[in-house]
Amino acid sequence: MKKRVIKSIFILSFAILFSSCAAGLTGSMTNSAALSSNNFSFVERNIKGMSQATYVLGIGGMKREAIVSEAKQKMLANSPLKNNQTLANVIVDFKYSNFMGIVMTVKCYVSADIVEFK
């Protein structure tokens, strides 16, 4: 009887602990350059940047705009733009993770293509 109670408590505690963990993804795509005519060429495809913020009980981290800006800055630091170049097919994805509603992590992924106009 005592083993059954302990086993039940252990299983219940385990279920509560791991049922409160969650992750979710959201994203959007914007086109920042008018690519309607054939006056451009792709210089580099799928360049990426990532930024992350962690919140404990809702305190800490950065605002959404700051996370996106930091990810974009990292992306452009790895692949700087030159004259007549711009970003196209810009994609912004967010991954939200939380653990027991106490610790929340927001990761922002920004990717784009670099095009050069003739």
**Stretch 68-78: mean pLDDT:** 92
Could you identify the residue written with the tokens 């106490």? 102
Cα first-last separation, the chain: 80
Alpha-carbon span 55 to 102, nearest angstrom:
8
| Portion of the chain with pLDDT greater than 90, in percent | 30
- Please state the domain extents for the chain: 23-117
Q: What is the pLDDT of the chain when averaged over all its residues?
A: 83
DSSP state of 82: -
What is 23-117's CATH topology?
Answer: Translation Initiation Factor IF3 (3.30.110)
pLDDT at 75: 93
1-42 pLDDT, tens digit per residue, is 778 888 888 887 766 666 666 666 676 666 666 677 788 888
The pTM is what? 0.73
